[in-house]
Amino acid sequence: MNKSRFEQAEAERQRNRTSDRDRVLGTLHALREEILQLWMIVAEDLGGPIENLDLKRKPLPYWSYNQSYFSVFDRNAGTIGLIENDQLRSSLVRTYMFAKRLVDQYQGYNRMDVRASANAAQPATGASADTTYALHAGALTLIESYNALKNNIDQLRNLLDAELGLKKTPLPYIDATDPKQAGASRVQTKESK
């Protein structure tokens, strides 16, 4: 009778392990799709202006967004902790941190740009040199964050594809074959390495 209870308990543990593994795989597929779609949005909205920045002009465009781009990641923190591949788990968390940092920094940049535009419209004051410098410095910070995110998305995509046995999805400004997308002004950051 004890053997039967032991076998039942062992069968239950096996079902739980299989269920956890299936949940992790489902979450990895969803995270892969979310991060790829996030990059497609960033590349479409910001890729060109950042990759081809000319600081003699208005540094970067206003970037409008009003939703959470990280819903899958935010709702699956517990499952992310179950990922056995340490390198993949670490890369996931790091990449999302870079993505959230880019969004936060761009929100601050937008606020600064709105204030600068309001001041520039007033003929008596105009945009100050400090404001112009702050916009340029903010743009350079955004370029560093963008490049760190780009490098981390490339690494994460490769790790996810290997883990899930999927074919590599080409991404703009990461797997660029078009010279305009290759970007002559890439800035490599220490953080992304």
The domain ranges of the chain are 2-182
What digits encode the pLDDT tens for the residues 160-171?
999 999 999 999
Amino acid symbol at 107: Q
- Return the top range by mean pLDDT from 126-130, 147-151, 179-183: 147-151
Query: What's the pLDDT score for residue 148?
Result: 98
Residue 191 pLDDT level (bands cut at 50, 70, 90): very low
Query: What's the pLDDT score for residue 54?
Result: 83
Residue 132 pLDDT level (bands cut at 50, 70, 90): confident
CA distance 157 to 137: 30
Q: What is the DSSP track for 72-100?
A: HHHHTHHHHTT---HHHHHHHHHHHHHHH
